[in-house]
Structure 1
Amino acid sequence: MSAVAWIAVGSLAAWGWLLLGQGFFWRTDQRLPRREAPDQWPDVAVGEAPDHWPDVAVVVPARDEAEVLPVSLPSLLAQVYPGRAEIVLVDDGSTDGTGELARSLSERHGGLPLRVVSPGEPEPGWTGKLWALRHGIASARADGSEYLLLTDADIAHEPDSLRELVAAARTNGLDLVSQMARLRVASGWERLIVPAFVYFFSQLYPFRWVNRTGARTAAAAGGCVLLRAEAAERAGVPESIRQAVIDDVSLARAVQRTGGRIWLGLADRVDSVRPYPRLANLWRMVSRSAYAQLLHSPLLLTGTVVGLALVYLAPPVTLCAGVWGHDAAAGWAGGLAWAVMTGTYLPMLRYYRQPLLLAPLLPFTALLYLLMTVDSAVQHYRGRGAAWKGRTYARPEAAPDR
């Protein structure tokens, strides 16, 4: 066979493994677990809520979030929760009146009580979000809250979100329950890139692997994490992960490493309201932490570029080369690999309610992600590191290995 045909066959073999051997990452059926009653909760009947609803502190780190708070914060204030719950919004050095806006929204909408705290600038060795979470969690611990809902300022929750999260955690004996919020998909670039972002994340951290008992794979989605306070203290978070840019994966790993049970799935009633209307917005979202995920390693960067090219770019290229060069083996193998790739992407497009005709465009989207990853490395070596909201972290700690 020709070299092109061998590349096509290699890509097809890779897709055969991804289809069957990577935790069925492409399926979208990992949703909030049903209320069950394991042995450690004998007083809770299957399908019923806990008899005792624990105290919960909702911790919201916020830095210059005045644009999205009018949409997201009222959804937290409106939570219908049978136990005691309060919101601690950590105003992380905002310059746009985030704290004042939060107070006015609380006065206007009522609902759960709200406290706004300001921790000041991060100490050396801390990323901004984890510095804010440190103060929010400390405030919650002082009040004796049993659970912490860590949720970003751009995340909107349906009124029963907190109740269902606590019920799932309590009746399934889980220390950490995280839902991947449904990201906003409105502009053309969002339709092209956002579903693929979740698809690639689930490929790297298959939800089924995360959720099985005794799992070695750990991950969470930082926009919505319900965490048992005792598990957080046992894992030493956030202090133990204070430098992490990819803080959600690092948090899940810390909880799992200290014996905690974790769960991760897709959300049905938790949504991100942050807009990414232009390619530049999405580019910054991905590139700011992509090289940190690769541990700032040139070797891992090279392997990632080669892997993305073989898995995602080779199928359409070898198909076209096979057709134009009358190379039947290259054409058939490349076409089959592209078909398998397209098929695995369809469930994610359905979840995001997007046209299925976008599925064959996944190689182009993967090329954009490849370029974003390379740009992330370039920015790192230029000393810009992971830049976000006016702060730059030159060489932060990446998420730990699985």
Structure 2
Amino acid sequence: MTAALALLLAVAALTAHSWLNATRWLRRPTDRPVEVAEPVAVLLPLRDEAERVTPCLRSLLAQRGVPGLRIVVLDDGSTDGTADVVRSVAGDDPRVTLLTGVAPPPGWLGKPHACWQLASRADPAVTALAFVDADVVLTPYAVAAAVTELRAAEATLLSAYPRIVVRSVADRLVQPLLQWLWLTFLPLRAMERSPRPSLAAAGGQFLVVDRAGYLRAGGHAAVADKVLEDIELARAVKRSGGRIALADGSRLAACRMYETWPELRDGYTKSLWASFGHPAAAAVVVTLLLALYSAPPLLAVAALLAGAPAVAGVALTAYLLGVAGRMVCARATGCRAWPDALAHPVSVVVLGWLTGRSYHLRKRRRLSWRGRPVT
């Protein structure tokens, strides 16, 4: 009974923290028409994105509220005709510049190098940079709203997490964990106020930065060899004296990250080892997550079979509180809450398996992404 009560109290505290983050501290940029006076460059790195860049690029061309908008696109060694698609969609729009990227030099990974090339080639008059991934589709005032929120927060970097589009069972099990993890475990208010680099989170799908602060932090050159370049960039900003902020961007952007289970599996596998660091730390974190969120329903069933209804009731309550926390996070970030949250214990098991796979393949030096080695 003591162990069951401890689980219940821990899950209750974490769910309460999720609720506090979601209702009090999570920034929510306006989705109403807004205009910014400063020149902004949207930076779009592309590598073999011919099949899905069109909706993204069309949404960039449809941006409103940014009179000085520039759109800089980098074709990063694509072999599928990505550059041709960009030319076809952009036509002769003077706001669009298409660059041909060069291969990353030793010590650089592909994504940081592509982003650094884009930032380095942006018009010198631009004062704010918006990094957007090819799988993101923006609403018409998304860039203006994100830049407005960046300035309101007096931050150097604003990460506006898009709404994650889910279609398959695998999507629904895994993808909502992105927002759930930081809303549950990261104190958002302290993160914004604290200069500690360890208190940082960011998502590279839709990231807005003050250009001067970005360069002061070293830009993507400071995170050249980092798999999680978005989080590491946020930490670099803090180390340089800047501030970072997180926002719910679900009303501004939507993102379909992976089309198939193999893509999703490999996408998480390439980077989860970098999220936890040392394997021992990963083992501790995964064990705690399994104990808090996957064990309670099993404990409830076992207790009922053993004739301990009181213990079963406590364990069942812990499970339901975990489900409630998942629902709070889903509703705060535009994800589907019901009935997906009921499978939260299974989601945590899948996360644990993906984490183990990530470390296993890294040890064997078999991690790669888009045809390039990750480690």
Alignment match, 2:143: 162
The CA distance in 1 between the partners of 2:69 and 2:337, in whole Å, is: 40
- Aligned partner of 1:187 in structure 2 is 168
1:26 and 1:345 in contact (8 A); partners too: no
SS in 1 for 2:74: strand
1:99 lines up with 2:83 in the alignment: yes
Quick one: structure 1 residues 293 and 349, their matched pair in 2 at CA, closer, same or farther if it must change by over 3 Å? closer
Partner of 1:12: 8
Q: Is the 8 A contact 1:195 1:352 kept in 2?
A: no
Counterpart residue type for residue 118 of structure 2: G
Which amino acid in the other structure matches residue 329 of structure 2?
A: M
Superposed CA offset, 1:286-321 (max 9, x none): 2211111121x1211221231122111211111111
Alpha-carbon contact 2:63-2:140 (below 8 Å) kept: yes
- Aligned letter for 1:271? A
CA gap 1:23/1:58 in 2 versus in 1, 3 angstroms: same
Verify: 1:288 aligned to 2:270, yes or no: yes
Match of 1:299 in 2: 280
Distance 2:303 2:152 in 1: 55
Q: Which whole-Å CA distance do the structure 2 matches of 1:305 and 1:214 have between them?
A: 27
Structure 1 position 29, deviation (Å): 7.1
- Give the CA deviation at 1:282: 2.0
Give structure 2 stretches of 5+ with no counterpart.
Answer: none
Instruction: Give distance in 2, aligned partners of 1:345 and 1:28.
Output: 17
Give 1:101 shift: 1.2
Question: What are the Cα deviations for residues 262-296 of structure 1, in whole angstroms up to 9, with x where unaligned?
Answer: 211111121114443x433322222211111121x
**Contact 2:25/2:188 (<8 A) preserved:** no
Q: Report what 2:128 is aligned to.
A: 147
SS in 1 for 2:360: helix
Shift of 1:197: 3.0
Distance 1:298 1:353, change over 3 A: closer
Match of 2:59 among 61, 64, 75: 75
Q: Which amino acid aligns with 2:10?
A: A
Aligned twin of 1:340: 321
1:376–1:121 Cα change, 3 Å: same
Map of 1:378 onto structure 2: 360
Counterpart selection for 1:210 from 191, 204, 208: 191
Instruction: Find the residue that maps to 1:264 and give its secondary structure.
Output: strand
User: 1:124-139 alignment to 2 at 5 Å?
Assistant: 124-139=106-121
Shift of 1:242: 0.8
Pair 1:234–1:99, CA change in 2 (3 A): same
Code of the aligned partner of 1:368: V
Quote how far apart the aligned CAs of 1:233 are: 1.1
Identity of counterpart residues, as a percentage? 27
- CA distance in 1 between counterparts of 2:127 and 2:70 reads 12
- The within-5 A match list for 1:3-402 is 5-21=1-17, 24-25=20-21, 30-33=26-29, 53-107=37-91, 110=93, 113-140=95-122, 143-212=124-193, 217-267=199-249, 268-276=251-259, 278-295=260-277, 297-350=278-331, 351-352=333-334, 354=336, 356-385=338-367, 387-394=368-375
Instruction: Give the letter for the 2:369 counterpart.
Output: W
> How many pairs does the alignment contain?
372
Displacement of 1:188: 2.8
CA distance in 1, matches of 2:304, 2:327: 26
The CA deviation string for residues 325-368 of structure 1, in whole angstroms up to 9 with x for no partner, is 11244313211211211111112343545352222210011111
Cα deviations by residue, 1:14-46 (Å, 9 ceiling, x for unpaired) = 2133134578346597243469xxxxxxxxxxx
Which amino acid is the alignment partner of residue 172 of structure 2?
Answer: R
After superposition, the Cα gap between the structure-2 partners of 1:355 and 1:18, relative to the gap in structure 1 and judged at 3 Å, is: closer
CA RMSD after TM alignment:
2.5
CA contact (8 A) 2:47 2:82 kept: yes
In structure 1, runs of 5+ residues without a counterpart are 36-46, 395-402
- Retained in 2: the 8 A contact 1:15–1:341? yes
Distance 2:162 2:25 in 1: 14
Distance 1:202 1:15, change over 3 A: same
AA at the equivalent of 2:90: S
Aligned residue in 2 for 1:41: none
Answer whether contact 2:70 2:96 (CA < 8 A) is retained: yes
